[in-house]
Amino acid sequence: MSVHEFTAKTIRGEEIKLDKYAGKVLLIVNTASKCGFTPQYSDLQKLYETYKDKDFVILGFPCNQFGEQEPGTNEDVHTFCQLNYGVTFPLFEKIDVNGPERHPLFAYLTESKPFEGFDVSTASGKMLNAFFQEKMPDRLEGNGIKWNFTKFLIDREGHVVKRYESPVDPLDVGPAIEKLL
């Protein structure tokens, strides 16, 4: 199985097969416009611009499941991303990444790369881990997506190589991307 076997609707409502990205290295990210991690859009765009000519693509999947931090319409999301961060990588329709209505792609991603915890050696990882331990300890269990801007690195064959939790800066994924290009 690979990510190439799934379909998804673009932010404009066009259903596409992800095999369109076969032969490319992908970074699949669940995103939100009103999150403390939203500025990661800037570094995601930098990554995309750096590697897009080497068959690298970022696929952004807006989600409103974490603190209702993506409340707008698909058009609102698209406009926000372009105006505030100059996003040119592909964005998809808002989806659920957890629960009974989760998109099958995210079921596959989370089953392929389980949650291994937050990197508490970083300030943001320590803060997010402490937040969950105090406010939502049950969320730390299982392999579901924990928060906005969880990132999955995918190889050219569509296999999940690595999972990066929300606090991981997109630019820190650059060396792993380079190894796959």
Task: Give the per-residue pLDDT at 164.
Answer: 98
Q: How far is CA 59 from CA 34, 105, 142, 156, in A?
A: 19, 12, 24, 14
State the average pLDDT over residues 12-16. Answer: 96
Structural domain span for residue 112: 3-180
Q: Hey, which residues are catalytic here?
A: 35
State the average pLDDT over residues 143-151. Answer: 97
Task: Give the per-residue pLDDT at 127.
Answer: 92
State the average pLDDT over residues 77-84. Answer: 96
Provide the pLDDT confidence category of residue 66 given band limits of 50, 70 and 90.
very high
Provide the pLDDT confidence category of residue 177 given band limits of 50, 70 and 90.
very high
Task: Give the per-residue pLDDT at 32.
Answer: 97
89-126 residue pLDDT tens: 999 999 999 999 999 999 999 999 999 999 999 999 99
Task: Give the per-residue pLDDT at 121.
Answer: 93
Total-model pTM? 0.97
Task: Give the per-residue pLDDT at 25.
Answer: 98
Q: What burial class does residue 134 get, using C-beta atoms within 10 Å of its C-beta: 0-12 exposed, 13-18 middle, 19+ buried?
A: exposed
Instruction: List the one residue out of 58, 21, 40, 11 whose CA is nearest residue 165.
Output: 40
**Residue 39 CB-half CA count within 13 A:** 4
For the chain, what percent of residues have pLDDT higher than 70?
Answer: 100
State the average pLDDT over residues 59-83. Answer: 96
User: Which amino acid does the sequence have at 113?
Assistant: K
Provide the pLDDT confidence category of residue 68 given band limits of 50, 70 and 90.
very high
**Domain tally, the chain:** 1
State the average pLDDT over residues 1-25. Answer: 97
Provide the pLDDT confidence category of residue 159 given band limits of 50, 70 and 90.
very high
CATH number for the domain spanning 166: value is: 3.40.30.10
State the average pLDDT over residues 34-63. Answer: 97
